[in-house]
């Protein structure tokens, strides 16, 4: 979402690259050099019909796919906000790095397809990164809905989800399909999924603060990552 990305774009003085993607593509790319590396920040863009930010797995997967095809990156970081689970120690404002991603709303009760639907994908190990910056660690679970039904809750519990988002597993899928491009997610908690407040109220209330937290967390993350081997993360 633009609200998630704009503080980072402003902080890093990124420039819009209008030629990065086909004109028909909704996603937007902002580019800069940092410590001798080229960095691209890609947003999903806005819906031409409704004027809102594209969210969910279709937009996230498309943006990731086009980005990997175009830039052949060494590492993909899916950055954004997410709901956190109190039972897994999440609090509003916490920064989580993914151990893996899963889907909790793709239920296909056919052998082989069941596993494909869940789509468990391990992220790059980040023990040293987390130790240096004090981030938390856990499973990112993904769906196309801000809310969830009882069956979704069962799957989130079974997969030991720490945070719930709407893009992570789709970005992981795009990375896996592109020769296992290394990736991880970094998510700031905006709401408590298993708390006592409506998700949409807490999300809107805390989105701005979470975006500012991302503005602080991502440059530190990038500075740590650049110049290191994946085995050193």
Task: Assign 214 a pLDDT band (cuts: 50, 70, 90).
Answer: confident
Joined tokens for residue 109: 């009760």
Q: What is the pLDDT of residue 210?
A: 87
**Residue range 88-117, pLDDT digits in tens:** 999 999 999 999 999 999 999 999 999 999
Q: Residue 27 belongs to what H/E stretch?
A: none
State the DSSP code for 106: -
pTM score, whole prediction: 0.94
Mean pLDDT of 147-162: 96
**Which domain does 42 fall in, by range?**
2-232
**Residue range 155-186, pLDDT digits in tens:** 999 999 999 999 999 999 999 999 999 999 99
Q: Which residues make Cβ contacts (< 8 Å) with residue 195, sequence separation at least 6?
A: 86, 202
Mean pLDDT of 203-210: 87
**CA 103 – CA 27 distance, rounded (Å):** 23
Residue 200 φ/ψ, nearest 5 degrees: -65, -35
Residue 118 φ/ψ, nearest 5 degrees: -65, -40
**CA 158 – CA 176 distance, rounded (Å):** 23
**Residue range 36-88, pLDDT digits in tens:** 899 999 999 999 999 999 999 999 999 999 999 999 999 999 999 999 999 99
CATH classification at residue 163: 3.40.50.1580
Positive or negative CA dihedral for 22, 8, 141, 183?
positive
Say if residues 202 and 209 touch (Cβ distance below 8 Å): no
**CA 91 – CA 97 distance, rounded (Å):** 14
Catalytic residue list: 4, 191
Q: How many domains does the chain have?
A: 1
Q: Residue 160 belongs to what H/E stretch?
A: none
């Amino acid at each position: 979402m633009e609200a998630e990305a704009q503080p980072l774009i402003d902080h890093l003085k990124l420039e819009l690259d209008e030629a990065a993607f086909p004109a028909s593509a909704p996603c937007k790319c902002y580019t800069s050099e940092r410590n001798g590396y080229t960095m691209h920040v890609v947003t999903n863009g806005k819906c031409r019909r409704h004027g809102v930010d594209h969210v969910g797995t279709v937009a996230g997967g498309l943006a990731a796919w086009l980005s990997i095809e175009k830039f052949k990156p060494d590492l993909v970081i899916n950055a954004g906000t997410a709901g956190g689970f109190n039972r897994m120690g999440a609090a509003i404002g916490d920064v989580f790095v993914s151990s893996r991603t899963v889907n909790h709303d793709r239920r296909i009760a056919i052998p082989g397809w069941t596993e494909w639907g869940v789509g468990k994908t391990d992220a790059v190990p980040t023990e040293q990164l987390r130790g240096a910056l004090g981030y938390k660690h856990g499973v990112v679970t993904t769906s196309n809905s801000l809310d969830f039904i009882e069956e979704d809750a069962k799957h989130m519990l079974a997969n030991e989800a720490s945070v719930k988002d709407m893009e992570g597993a789709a970005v992981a899928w795009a990375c896996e399909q592109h020769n296992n491009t290394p990736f991880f997610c970094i998510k700031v908690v905006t709401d408590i999924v298993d708390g006592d407040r409506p998700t949409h109220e807490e999300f809107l209330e805390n989105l701005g603060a979470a975006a500012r937290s991302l503005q602080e967390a991502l440059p530190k993350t990038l500075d740590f990552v650049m110049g290191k081997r994946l085995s050193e993360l």
